[in-house]
Amino acid sequence: MNRLPTLFIGFFATFLTAWLGLVIIPYFQFGQLEPQVDPDTGDQFPPAPTGLALRGAQVYRASGCIYCHSQQIRPADLQDGHNRGWGARRTVPRDYLYEKPPQLGTMRTGPDLTNVGVRLNDAAWHHEHLYAPQSKAAWSIMAPYKYLYTVRKIEGQPSPKALKLQPPYAPAEGYEVVPTPDAEALVAYLLSLNRNYALPEAPVE
């Protein structure tokens, strides 16, 4: 008995079901989302990132930050103890309108960064943390990102951008550590991460 037509129909039905479930239904659920506009101020939420923060998002992806840090806050009623005050509300699909691709992350080896621009809004802190994570938290297991910085001999006046590192992380006498353009962009991106605004489907909790 020739069962080839039945087998073909089975394969086609499986492919069609997966395509509908993974492509078409999500498109109609989320593909038409628009920013929320404040009727009083005209401000849009989520706000579109600036040029330097956009560049920083590329550095974020290239540096593999997504492998250890998530950017997704779970609903409070899950009570799984994993949100730890990292965000003022749960994240929703509208939050990722300007992220291509979205930086959701899959692991929390390090803390969630959804609102890190609010929790830690000091650029100098981020630079020193990226260069020498243990200088800010001795227990940190984060790898240093020293390749984003330049150690150079001081000629004339020290650079105003030089990191203010303390021993044993400070450079040798007469030298300074300054951020590269990639480091400055990455910090601009981290400082831009702020989801303290409410959305219709996700009020601040």
- On the question of a cis peptide bond just before residue 203, with omega within 30 degrees of 0, the verdict is no
Cis peptide, bond prior to residue 46, ω within 30 of zero: yes
Report residue 83's pLDDT band, with 50, 70 and 90 as the boundaries. low
User: What's the number of CA atoms in the CB half-sphere (13 Å) around residue 86?
Assistant: 21
> What Å distances lie between residue 72 and 31, 52, 85, 115, CA to CA?
19, 23, 12, 10
pTM of the model: 0.84
**Number of C-alpha atoms within 13 angstroms, CB side, residue 29?**
9
Residue 29 pLDDT: 76
- Within the chain, strands assigned E span 36-37, 44-45, 149-153, 175-179
Q: Which two tokens stand for residue 44?
A: 């849009």
**55-82 pLDDT, tens per residue?**
999 999 999 999 999 998 887 776 554 5
